[in-house]
Structure 1
Amino acid sequence: MHSKPKILATAALLLLAGPFSLAACAQDYVEQEAARAAGAQPGPTDPYAPRGAQSYPATSYGVSNAPPATAVAPGSATAVAPVTAPPAAQSVQDQNLGALLIRIQQLEQQVMQLNGKLEEQANELNVMREQNLQRYTDLDKRLSAGAVGGAAATTADAPATIVADDAIPAAGPTAGTAPVAEQVGEAEAYRAAYALVQSQKFDQAVQAFQQFQRNYPAGKYAPNAYYWLGELYLVIQPQDLESSRQAFAMMLSLYPDNAKAPDALYKLGKVQFMKGNRDKAREYMDEVISRYGSTTSSAVKLAKDFLAQNY
């Protein structure tokens, strides 16, 4: 009877102490596992061992030849090496730099050539300006020497007062001449064309003298009209050297004994010189000197000076 209560008391004590012993065992197990995990090192063949970051070569979209990337594990303090261009890329850069330098040198040479051409054109322009100035000077001398005097005379047969041979020559009634009215009309047409020359309206003067030639091809003032056309073709812009040559040549052909013949021959030589015909120009200058050397014509001195300056 006394043993049964003792057994029951022992069982109760075991039931009460069981949870505490299990907790202690569990705590011991946890501590042992933690210590083992801290001291253990994973082997190279341990499939569950932690691994660092891995890199894989690029194999798609045309970058299979890209250099492998340097792997850096998270939290690592290792510095990343700078990426440098491969030797092939460096060679391409050197080639591009060399080509650029060559192109710069070529451009510099082209600039030097253009500067040289600009200087040549500037010199040619200066020569042209001097020639134009000379032509205007010659024309002004002609105008000052042959200006038309005041108003027309009161008589029908004397259309203008004559100052020099460049102006309108006096017309007097002679046997076999054209009617007086026609002479007056011719004189007025010539005077109007010559007034345009004095006003330096050269383009209009050319048209006026051309119209005069059409209206009075064999008129008394036709030689002067040819001469002035030859002069005007040299001062209009642009010049018309061929038309000037034809006007002077026509004047000499039709009126070789006219008072303007020496000047026309001298001008014809200058036109040939301007056209580049140096030999022909010299022939005309020599002809002026040989043909009119014994006269008082100013063309003789001009021809001599021209030869001295250009030959």
Structure 2
Amino acid sequence: MTRTMTKTGAGQWATLIALVLLVQFLSACVAVQSFPVSARAGDTVMLAVGSPDGMNKGNTSATFTPGGGGSAVPLPIRSIFKLYPDKTSAAWLDSGALGVENDTGHGPWTTIVALDLPTTLPTGPGAVQITTGAVYPPPPARNINDTTLTLEILPGSGSPAPFTYELAANLPVAGDLTQLEPGRRLVVKPVFTGTGTTTYGAIEVRINIPFLDQIGADNVRVVIDDKIELTSSSRRIQYTWSVQGTDLVVFFISPTGGLDYSQAHFSIISANIMSLIDAALLDVNTLSPVATYFDVNGNAVGATHVFTINEET
């Protein structure tokens, strides 16, 4: 869903984030709607732009068009990051949030775009347009490319919000929102075709990566995509991973047999692997995840789901 948020004070900022999460997770879907706010030219504005895969500053742009007419003004993007609720909160545990997973195949997060408004914007109403090549989930979710967000520019001059925090008493430090952005990684996941009708006791995903035996497990990290169902009492999903020669093996298990195919979704983080890609010694397009499925008794079953592996930043 889409909301517009302006950093005008700590209390207002926290309230706006809470509203974004409340509406998103109670709606049981990923929608795109406007949340009207006002800001001065020069201020920092936040937009919640739904739940696309792979959105970053390299494939996304923003413009502001004055309501009284005039040319669209480019808006510099300060940062793009994901916003999650606390995992013990009602927003995470409420059944409505499961609708996000069921509609998208990924965890219940929304993407936040931080914009520093130019000081030259004219006062009055207008609209922000986000254009991105990121992949949005299918309906009922709406695509931010097809939506404009209303924003009124107030009289006066603003300045970018520093998001100052304290490392210790009386030691203020300006916040760096880029530290919240996803890092460069390989994303491994099955093609999402909706919630599966069959669940499994375990899924093994094996990927042969050249030179992995030389890189070693100490220089690799595997991070699974956080989903509500991973910790549900009816599924109790766990995972482990290992390096076996040149194979990376990621193993998901549900002792209750409640593992859905879409939950075998994870990222590989390794500076060494990325160096091989940059040196043209490794082509991501040649990597082919192989998945094996097991029932709750440990017997292999003949399930087939297409996996993809893509580099994202």
TM superposition score normalised by structure 2: 0.20
Report 1 or 2 for greater relative contact order, CA contacts < 8 Å, sequence distance ≥ 6: 2
Q: Give the greater-gyration-radius structure (CA).
A: 1
TM superposition score normalised by structure 1: 0.20
